[in-house]
Structure 1
Amino acid sequence: MSKTVKNIIIIGGGTAGWLTAAIIAAHHKDAKKTELKITLVESSDIPTIGVGEGTWPTMKNTFHKIGLKESDVFKKCHAAFKQGAKFVEWVHGNGDFYYHPFTVPLGYGHIDLAPYVSNIENFARESNFQYDICEAGLAPRNLAESEYQGQCNYGYHLDAGALAELLKRHCIDKLNVEHIVDTLDECISENGERIDAVVLNKQGKLTANLFVDCSGSRSLLLGQTLNVPFKKVDHVLFNNRALAMQVPYESEDMPLASHTIATAQNAGWIWDIGLTSRRGVGHVYASDFLTDEEAEQNLRNYLGEAANGLVARKISFEPGHREQWWKGNCVAIGMAAGFVEPLEATAIMLVELSARYVAENLPADESLMPLVAKRFNKQMAYRWQRIVDFLKFHYMLTKRTEPYWQAHCDPTTFPDSLKEDLSLWQYRGPTTNDFTSAMELFPAASYQYVLYGMEFKPDFSRQGYLHNQQQKAEQVINRNEQLTQQMLQSLPPHRDYIEKWLATST
């Protein structure tokens, strides 16, 4: 008996639940014949963590597609622009830093400037104008440019709790998502292969064609009910704790960083995210190398007097992911699917990608669900593998001597796929040919910024063809310098731009 897929129940709110609901609902908004019903169930007694969060540039398109005005996001989520990340003291621990900007190098895909820059650690600066824009604290665009546009690629810094509330209101008011505030008492699965129904404390039994598990790390549906195993990656990525603080600015007109600042510590790193209203600052660390008390002292030392009177909230997590993400009629999105440390803003990006896949590949009939699930699981397996690779890549080239950092340099902790990449990159840098899958999350440019930023210089002398483009390379480097100077003159300070833009937007 064929069954049309027209009823979706999402269990769990927060950023993952409401963003998923918005993406699916917006995609099917005008499909009148489908009559798709989306219901989100969330408990009133589960608080959101609410720390400042960073996004990948993909979020621009996501917000635009679901129908949000960018100015509303900024007003209601205390948002700021994120043009990349600055990694401080990850190489030597003596004040060194490098950037991973969101704009690709000039000449990207046509020429690798690495063999021609003055020093390999200068790669980001000599190949990309965004380095100096971030250092100068400038916005990625000027007032003449429209929403979701800009001379520089960017993501966002957002208050996660405020974002969830904005998405909730948008889903309910604009996208016809039904909202139920209730507690999940039971999840029924007669054969362990699919979800037959959920039982709520007040509403009773609910059925659906598709259940989306956004219940956080508890993974109530996919993990606990359908018993999909959890695959740990703590042998590759060691961090499993975080301490978070919400830090007020000393004054309302304090300069606003337009990038995430990630500062390495003796056994982990500290994130520093600037919202317009406050900073979100936290310490990610590994409990095998650092006690909670030592981590809190690191955090307070970093903040100085700004930490006085502030309480650090502790977050524990197990780095890893489910062995499959869609089983039967249940798909997990967000922390229910997996979680690793918040380096490079992968968490929300995976929510976007997963929800978009569900929206665009929602089977017309339940009989097609296994095929859609199979393809989704194949994609997610690859994406999680590349995320683990890319995050590990930030650690394994360090010259720091503390036990935590040296443990990251142990080849036995390197994924095989990353070992293969590094073998090639001994003699040339990452190229677009290394990243040919349609499922790539991070392009060759991202690997270039990290590889060269960590002062790893391939032996370019073994690849003669890389040295016959000196004149072209000089032209690109000079062009970048010209663009840099133009933008330093024309782009406004980050906070000034946001205030003037929001004052004139309706």
Structure 2
Amino acid sequence: MPEKNKITKVLIVGGGTAGWLAANHLGKRFSDLDGPNIEVTLIESPNIPNIGVGEGTVPMMRETLRYLGIDEGYFVQSCDATFKQSIKFVDWVYNPKEKNHSYHHLFDYPMSHDSAFYWHKTSASSRDSFANSVSVQSVLADAGLGPKLVTQPQFQGVTSYAYHLDARKFSEVLRLNALSKFGLSHILDDVLEVTLSDSGDISTVSTSQNGELEADLFIDCTGFSARLIEKACKVPFVDKGDVLFVDSALAVQVPYEKSHDAIPCFTLSTAKEAGWIWDIGLTERRGVGYVYSSRHSSRQDAEKVLSEYLGGKVSEAEFRHIPMRIGYREKAWHRNCVAIGLSGGFVEPLEATGLLVFDVTSRMLAECIPNKLSSMHLVAERFNQRTVDTWNKVIDFIKLHYVASKRNDTEFWSDNRKEASIPDSLKQKLALWSSELPNRYDFTSTLEIFNLENYQYVLYGMDFDTDLGYSEVSKDGLDKFLSEQNKIAEFIHQAKTQLEPHRELIEKIHKFGIQKV
């Protein structure tokens, strides 16, 4: 009898957002194929709650929802979701003379690729912020306006946008979508044991009620416990705590004081003594949390910082403590086991990288699963190279925020700027960009998570100094840049008469939905 050389069964172990994202991407991929589908089953424990770390997304989530066939109006209604146009950073640049320094990392890209050059060549004393000079979005977001008209079709807007969402409710939407559209199997049961074959492959997982489950490929979505990839397969974890210091979070749900309170259209990120506080407005509540370094703050002090931020209106007893393991798996794909989600890696929730990486790697996995089992080791090697590269680029971008901040008012901020904690790859970028503007050729991979424009918003939002010397300024180019400023002002004036307050937009979507075309 010939040896089996085809993947016919995939078992996802663990649910939550990561598990159900993987299930949807796998289901979508195989439902689109001609011929017999690969059987995909997800097993999750009925006794493990969804952690729900991070309630922010990036604009790529719009494409994911569209790709998976999830109605945007239904998504907003079901996930307590709101729109997100940016991350607004407060006090990341410390200046005793200037309280509440802030800047936006926008989702709209600058109007032209050379806007940064002409912005730099404009007198620092007379120019507006970088974000205000290259886009309409920060002004509209600060005005409390939503990014789209309720009459616009799904996934289209006046400005680019992502979402804030309730992670637990999002997991449920993903679950229903996977089961109804793609015919996946779902088992509620506890995994008791993982058995390896002599070759080192996973052969079965033993369950409490369903006996032993076999598969050709096992997806580990068991979170920080990493039941398959670490405990069974012994794949090491690459700890990046020496680069990114924050390793703990306090999270709390905060009800609105009044039902008509305005809902910010951005994630608010406020720097504190040993980390930063996120503040996210959902439909019925705010999600607030303090991400901090346990090496630079005690839990008691962290609770005090968060309590003061909330004006003492929430009892510290309601704070949920979340320890975080910062880094990534040495190999996300080992033999016939692939780690997706927290089992594969995690960095702090700054810039909403959690859901972003889980989504990207889930789709990459679905599109890379080999036709033959004999090719799995080759596919795994390439998958691992791309995944490690992705994590390192994400870490560079997150670390940039701390290095460029120029804060040195506490040990946490000073330590973040020490040479030993900065990756060589980021040092090289910053050294180059001290005299040359970032350009598109610095970002050449098709899997870039953060691109030129993302770096520009952060660098120049935090007053990073690029010395362009005596670079000549083209009169035509400068005239074009000044013309863009007028267009931005005109667009803002027009948009303010058309767009409505964010909460009113959300309420209309709850009432009417969003038209498909």
**1:336 aligns to 2:343 (yes or no):** yes
CA displacement at 1:34 relative to structure 2? 3.1
1:409-430 CA-partner distances (Å, limit 9, x unpaired): 1122110111111111111222
Q: Which amino acid aligns with 1:68?
A: I
Tell me what 2:297 maps to.
290
| Structure 1 position 364, deviation (Å) | 1.1
1:452 and 2:454 equivalent? no
| Separation in 1, partners of 2:474, 2:20 | 48
Matched, 1:114 2:116: no
Aligned to 1:105: 110
Q: Is the 8 A contact 1:90 1:263 kept in 2?
A: yes
Kindly, what percent of the aligned residue pairs are identical?
Answer: 39
Give the aligned partner of residue 46 of structure 1.
48
Q: Report the equivalent of 1:384.
A: 391
Cross-structure match for 1:488: 496
Q: Judge conservation of contact 2:54–2:352 (CA < 8 Å) in 1.
A: no
Distance 1:354 1:201, change over 3 A: same
Change in 2 beyond 3 A, CA 1:138/1:212: same
Counterpart mapping for 1:130-141 below 5 A: 130-141=137-148
Measure, in 2, the Cα distance between the counterparts of 1:109 and 1:61.
27
Q: Does 1:83 align with 2:77?
A: no
Instruction: Give the match for residue 12 of structure 1.
Output: 14
Structure 1 residues 118 and 133: alpha-carbon distance in aligned structure 2, compared to 1, 3 A threshold = farther
Equivalent pairs, count: 506
Contact persistence 2:29–2:366 (CA under 8 A)? yes
Cα distance in 1 between the residues matched to 2:475 and 2:16? 51
Q: Matched residues in 2 for 1:472 and 1:118: separation?
A: 17
In structure 1, the partner of 2:237 is 230
Deviations 1:157-212 (A, max 9, x none): 00001111111122222221111111111111124632111111111111111110
User: 1:149 aligned to 2:156?
Assistant: yes
Residues 462, 224 of structure 1: CA spacing in aligned structure 2 closer, same or farther, 3 A cutoff? farther
Aligned residue for 1:44, secondary structure, equals coil
C-alpha contact 1:426 1:458 (8 A) present in aligned 2: yes
Q: What is the identity, as a one-letter code, of the residue corresponding to 2:160?
A: N
- Structure 1 residue 117: Cα displacement: 4.5
Once the two structures are TM-superposed, the CA of residue 246 in structure 1 deviates from its matched residue by 0.3
**Cα deviation, residue 476, structure 1:** 2.1
Q: Does 1:240 align with 2:247?
A: yes
Output one character per residue of 1:216-259: Cα deviation in whole Å (capped at 9) or x when no partner: 01111111111111111111100000000000001111101111
Query: Is residue 2:215 matched to residue 1:208?
Result: yes
> Following the alignment from structure 2 to structure 1, what is the Cα–Cα distance between the partners of residues 495 and 437?
28
Q: d(CA) in 2 for partners of 1:452 and 1:261? A: 18
- Unaligned segments of structure 1, at least 5 residues: none
Deviation at 1:324, TM superposition (A): 1.1
Aligned residue identity for 1:363: P
Distance 1:501 1:384, change over 3 A: same
Following superposition, the deviation at residue 27 of structure 1 comes to: 2.2
* In 2: Cα distance, 1:193 partner to 1:308 partner: 49
Distance of 2:390 and 2:169 partners within structure 1 = 28
Choose 345-354 or 164-173, whichever is displaced more: 164-173
Aligned twin of 1:65: 67
- Is the alpha carbon distance of 1:337 and 1:42 closer, same or farther for their aligned partners in structure 2, counting shifts above 3 Å? same
Cα deviation for residue 52 of structure 1 reads: 5.6
1:477 pairs with 482, 485, 490, which one? Answer: 485
Q: CA deviation at 1:133?
A: 1.1
Contact 1:121 1:455 in 2 (8 A): no
Does 1:411 pair with 2:419?
yes
What does residue 30 of structure 1 align with? 32
Give 1:95 deviation, angstroms.
0.9
Question: In structure 1, what is the Cα distance between the partners aligned to 2:128 and 2:275?
Answer: 22
Shift of 1:113: 3.9
Contact 1:213/1:220, CA 8 A, preserved across alignment? yes
8 Å Cα contact 1:52-1:279 kept in structure 2: no
Other structure's SS at 1:100 match: strand
Q: Secondary structure at the match of 2:64?
A: helix
Which runs of no fewer than 5 residues in structure 2 stay unpaired? none
Which one of the candidate residues 179, 194, 200 is aligned to 1:193? 200
Name the amino acid aligned to 1:25.
Answer: G
Give the SS at the match of 1:273.
strand
Q: Distance in 1 between matches of 2:375 and 2:485?
A: 52
- In structure 2, the residue corresponding to 1:262 is in which secondary structure? strand
Where 1:156 maps in the other structure, the secondary structure is: strand
1:503 to 486, 493, 511: 511
In 1, distance between residues paired with 2:197 and 2:470? 62
Between the aligned partners of 2:396 and 2:480, the Cα distance in structure 1 is 32
